[in-house]
A and B are shown apart, each in its own frame.
Chain A
């Protein structure tokens, strides 16, 4: 660590600047592109200064894309809504299922609990297609293919391990003595759970919920396999959009911006929880 020498400080400054440029440039550039017309985008050399237009966003929001070749229907707003519905429903279900289980795993040492926790953890690292491909065949038989419920159910593979392990860590950090005292005062375990444990683990539950939401939103392969066009979230929808209208670069950029904005805002809002959440609670930030 030499903070003092001038050469060292210049080196660190330049290095940090390069890092910022590399990681921020794509986001900034796509954002700029989304406010340009196709003619502006195709100009060479590219211009940093340009007359911004909202036409790309208007086309996406109205669902009508007017091109020289004719009108094109875009269902991108539907994809956006699907992402909201699927991710929120998946996180709510995972919290409902996961928080009581996390509490059980933290408070009672029992074998079944450990087995469940570790099965979920080890499948967090298994190839998703290994479960998804056979599941898609089962879904066809059960009639769950291309239903919101079917997709929300598989999203549990993402959300539930995250919630179980993060929230469990928070419950373990709370001393059981408080709950014991509360129960000695004549309250049931259910009251101890909802009035003492859950509020105390609140920040952990919120962090796990936000992070699960982001991961569900960003997921691509589950819906690629299980959802048809009208149930697809933005990740799959954006790719389909690129294939369908390959040369409408301005609209593609706008679609990208709309797809990533919700998660990036959530990430900025919840950044102090992310470190811990990302490592499943292994590293306290």
Chain B
């Protein structure tokens, strides 16, 4: 009896999540517009089928994937590089790794505002600095051709430390013997990196990347705070599009269908993630 009693509150929260989730699944099968309540009715998978011929949907899918791929790849390379630089646990390296936590602990929406101030075409320091290098009329987030670059930059600023901190913990927990043996034998650095460090670090790299992948494909805060999905539809990622469908076009059915598709993608990814993560967790806590 006792364990059930103790987990009762957590169960309630679970129900509080699952009820709206099932509701969303039902909405996605309905014609449901808040401004036209009398038209509401079951329409099967029509909302989903409509997406197939809707260029706005394919734009959303494409932008979300490009955003996710760019942020995760950049953050992984940069995070790995920084973790390798800070690998030896000297006092200075530890101080640097703590300071690098600060962007990660900044609210992403606020981080977007910070970069908005710095990239203001009139007085922004970054606009000024690139002007010194002869780049003028760089409009950052307000120009369709550079908007994606700008929000990816903010995402990289906020989340690279996350990858760095995980990989640094991973690097420092690796057994020493293989590296000592390699050093004794005079094995070249690049060989050690590709044949020893990387393979041993792989579980950490996979966990960190999946974690970021899951968050990145759902990015809302940075993009909404920066441009609300604009200019035009240039940054209409899944959640921003779904938000606008709901609040601007009051089309609940379409919004829910869009989110269900996103959920399907993240659910596949998160199952892989959870499996991986459980393995790492068991190893870290010393029990299977």
Binary interface profile of B, 55-94, with partner A (CB < 8 Å = 1, else 0)? 0000000000000000000000000011001111000000
Residues of A within 8 A of B266 (CB): 125-127
CB under 8 Å from chain B, chain A span 105-128 = 105, 107-108, 110, 112-113, 116, 118-123, 125-128
Query: CB of A209 within 8 A of chain B?
Result: no
Residues of B within 8 A of A107 (CB): 3
Query: CB of B36 within 8 A of chain A?
Result: no
How long is the Cα–Cα vector from A263 to B102 in the complex, in angstroms?
9
Residue of A nearest to B98 (CB): A271
The range of chain B's interface size is 35 or more
Structural contact, A220 and B109, CB atoms closer than 8 A? yes
B26 to chain A minimum Cβ distance, whole angstroms, is 9
Q: A19-B100, A218-B107 are in contact. Are A122 and B221 (CB under 8 A)?
A: no
The listed residue with most B CB atoms (<10 A of its CB), out of A45, A112, A125, A127, is A127
Structural contact, B98 and A268, CB atoms closer than 8 A? yes
How long is the Cα–Cα vector from A238 to B100 in the complex, in angstroms?
24
Partner of A134 from B27, B160, B207, B262 at Cβ < 8 Å: B27
Binary interface profile of A, 78-122, with partner B (CB < 8 Å = 1, else 0)? 000000000000000000111011011101101011001011111
Partner of A235 from B7, B17, B107, B204 at Cβ < 8 Å: B107
How long is the Cα–Cα vector from A156 to B207 in the complex, in angstroms?
24
Query: CB of A198 within 8 A of chain B?
Result: no
CB under 8 Å from chain B, chain A span 234-269 = 234-236, 238-239, 242, 249, 252-253, 256, 259-260, 263-264, 266-268
Query: CB of B277 within 8 A of chain A?
Result: yes
A15 to chain B minimum Cβ distance, whole angstroms, is 6
Q: Can you show 5 pairs from A to B with CB atoms below 8 A apart?
A: A118-B274, A127-B238, A275-B165, A279-B280, A285-B169
Interface residues of B (CB under 8 A from A): 2-4, 6-7, 9-11, 13-14, 16-21, 23-24, 27, 81-82, 85-88, 96, 98-111, 113-118, 120, 122-123, 125, 128, 157, 160-162, 165-166, 169-170, 173, 179, 183, 189, 192, 204, 207-208, 211, 214, 218, 220-221, 224-225, 238-239, 242-243, 246, 252, 255-256, 259-260, 262-263, 266-267, 269-271, 273-274, 277, 280-281, 284-285, 287
